[in-house]
Amino acid sequence: MFKNLKTKLIVVYSVALICFISFLLVYSSRHIHKEFTLFLKTELQQSIDYINTYCLSFHKPINKQFFTYEIVTALKNLSQKSSLRITIIQNDGTVLFDTDANPEIMENHLYRPEILEARKNGTGMATRFSNTIGADMLYVASYYSNYYIRTAKSMSTINMLIESITRNIVIAGIIVLIISITVTAIFATAFTRPIKESLRFIDAFFNGNLHARILNYKDDEMGYLQKAMNQLADNIQQRIMELTNEKNKLFMIIESIHDPIALIDEDKKIVIYNRAFANCFEYPERLTGKYYFTVIRHSELNAKIYIAFSQKQKISFEETIGAKNFHIFIYPFAEPATGILLLMHDVTEQKRIQQLKSDLVGNLSHELKTPISIIRGYLETIKDNICDQKTAEQFIENALINVERQNAIINDMLKLNQLETSSFITSESIDLKKIISQCVELLTPKIQKKNLAIVMDIQSLPQTITGNAFLAEEIFFNLIDNAINYNNPGGSITISANKESTLLSISIADTGVGIPPDEIPRIFERFYRVDKSRSRETGGTGLGLSIVKHAALIMGWTVDVTSSSSGSTFRIIIPSV
């Protein structure tokens, strides 16, 4: 009814006070009435005794003739002085004398209660409304063998007294009530203030303001309670901070993992996940609280998650999602809550490397096997003596050419491997003009043999650039070598340099067989040859352009190719010169 503690206190206190005042009123009025009646009775009794003594002093029988003018006057005087009504009644109830009425017309009084009691006990008392007087009266009567003396007094005094006392008590009560309510209100305000402050604090704290505290608490029980609440808040804040830190660390760890991870609770909703997980399923919104099957749109994976949930068993399997391969682990857990941990280990790169390795082993074995078979063929023929001396020498020569090819393949493989684990590569100032000229010089016998013209337009090259001499040599040697190998006899090779703002480009153009457009993307792969027999004829290993691409990549250079049936142009682009 009253929610406010202050109002409750005031109402309860006021009701208690009103009850107390009411009780005081009833009790005091009754007590006063009783005591006053007793006092009045004693007074009336004394008057009776006095009247009787007065009447007896005449030594005459008390009858109608007894009341002479003198006696009547004396009794009326006494009645007036003492505000008494005096009545003298004969034994049979006939009224002989009455101060307030004419006895002649008064009815028989024998059965008046006070008279009946007086006859029985000697004295009698009654209170009633007198029609003669028109007021509440107290009657006291005494019986003297053949007559009764009755005195009566109006009770209006007592009623007035009780009324006055009641009025005073009510006024005093109202004053006390007003003062009490004011004092109670002041006290209740002071008493409830710390409670209100505490409630304000609890409200703020539970609504997330962890810094809220109760200030200025007093040195009493309530203050002690408030201090304890503050300490409790300190502890909770400390724990929340610790937990938040732990949570942040956990999130950082999860975020730093490149594999998709998600924690799904028993309601099948995502609780924790990392960015890799969100990216993997390309879900545009926040995933927390979403059902896993609304995010993971992959029926096989969802079926496995369902199994892990129902069988509560760890499951691991491989699955392709989008363009990626994953080794997926699903760990069901029961502590501290039930759910599953989904860990998707991205094995795409691993698979690619594995594939590359097996391709490489296949290619390499194939490349090495062919010359070995040829060498074995020649050697077996010589061993079996089925050819003459001259042919045998020719066979040995051929076997040596194939040994040389194997050597070239192994050397190129070692070079490639060296480039791939390129920790030894250093940056230095290199003179490209010098490097290109040295390569041309080394290859001059081959150029002359094929009767090729060589045009050099590399004057615009800067004196030095930053790079690596070994790698630059590998690049230009292989490209010029290819321009010779795949050129037509009598053709030409043009080496030109061009500088455009910060870019430097060096082109090696030949007038050879060219490369079909659909083959161009593949020529940088290991052992890839457009024309296998031609490559073999020229002593090619199929690794030259792979070395060029790797070496360029290490130095931040790029290589591009344009080709037609009238020749090819390989262009090296060197940035930030």
Contact set with ligand ADP (CB under 6 A):
478, 482-483, 485-486, 510, 512-515, 523, 528-531, 535, 540-546, 568
Alpha-helical (H) ranges within 103-212 are 113-121, 156-206
Strands 453-457 and 492-500: parallel
CB of 376 to ligand ADP, least distance (A): 23
Token pair of 124, please?
A: 């009698």
Strands 85-90 and 465-467: unpaired
Sheet containing 270-273, strands listed edge to edge, beginning at the edge strand earlier in sequence: 270-273, 261-265, 339-346, 324-333, 315-321
Return the H-helix or E-strand segment holding 438. Answer: helix 432-449
CB of 559 to ligand ADP, least distance (A): 11
CB nearer to ligand ADP: pick between 125 and 483: 483
Distance spanning both ends of the chain, measured CA to CA: 88
CB nearer to ligand ADP: pick between 264 and 543: 543
- DSSP states along 269-295: BEEEE-HHHHHHHT--S--TTSBHHHH
CB of 556 to ligand ADP, least distance (A): 21
Contacts of 183 (CB under 8 A, 6+ apart): none
Token pair of 410, please?
A: 């192994």
CB of 248 to ligand ADP, least distance (A): 52
Q: Give just the sign of the alpha carbon dihedral 253, 255, 261, 264.
A: positive
Among candidate residues 28, 52, 30, the one with its CA nearest the CA of residue 140:
52
CB nearer to ligand ADP: pick between 274 and 568: 568
CB nearer to ligand ADP: pick between 85 and 549: 549
CB nearer to ligand ADP: pick between 9 and 547: 547
CB nearer to ligand ADP: pick between 124 and 542: 542
* Beta carbons of 496 and 506 less than 8 angstroms apart: yes
CB of 297 to ligand ADP, least distance (A): 43
Question: How is residue 567 annotated by DSSP?
Answer: E
CB of 571 to ligand ADP, least distance (A): 12
Q: Which amino acid is at 99?
A: T
Contacts of 577 (CB under 8 A, 6+ apart): 462, 465, 499, 502, 503, 504
Token pair of 63, please?
A: 């009858």
CB nearer to ligand ADP: pick between 205 and 486: 486
Alpha-helical (H) ranges within 207-313 are 221-256, 275-281, 292-295, 299-311
CB of 538 to ligand ADP, least distance (A): 7
CB of 451 to ligand ADP, least distance (A): 17
CB nearer to ligand ADP: pick between 226 and 496: 496
CB nearer to ligand ADP: pick between 173 and 514: 514
Tokens 């890839």 found at: 528
CB of 412 to ligand ADP, least distance (A): 8
Q: Give just the sign of the alpha carbon dihedral 232, 235, 237, 243.
A: negative
Sheet containing 558-564, strands listed edge to edge, beginning at the edge strand earlier in sequence: 453-457, 492-500, 503-510, 567-574, 558-564
CB nearer to ligand ADP: pick between 117 and 510: 510
Q: State the Cα–Cα distance between residues 78 and 85, nearest whole angstrom.
A: 9
CB nearer to ligand ADP: pick between 260 and 514: 514
Among candidate residues 452, 456, 461, 517, the one with its CA nearest the CA of residue 488:
452
Buried residues in 71-107 as b, exposed as e (16+ CB within 10 A): beeebeebbeebebbbbbbbeeebbbbbbeeebeebe
CB of 539 to ligand ADP, least distance (A): 8
Instruction: Give burial (CB, 10 Å; 0-12/13-18/19+) of 295.
Output: buried
Other Cβ atoms within 10 Å of 178 Cβ, number: 10
CB of 300 to ligand ADP, least distance (A): 41
CB of 537 to ligand ADP, least distance (A): 10
Q: How would you classify residue 22: left for phi > 0, otherwise alpha for psi between -120 and 50, otherwise beta?
A: alpha
CB nearer to ligand ADP: pick between 376 and 522: 522
CB of 259 to ligand ADP, least distance (A): 36
CB nearer to ligand ADP: pick between 270 and 552: 552
CB nearer to ligand ADP: pick between 13 and 486: 486
Among candidate residues 202, 192, 208, the one with its CA nearest the CA of residue 228:
202
CB of 533 to ligand ADP, least distance (A): 10
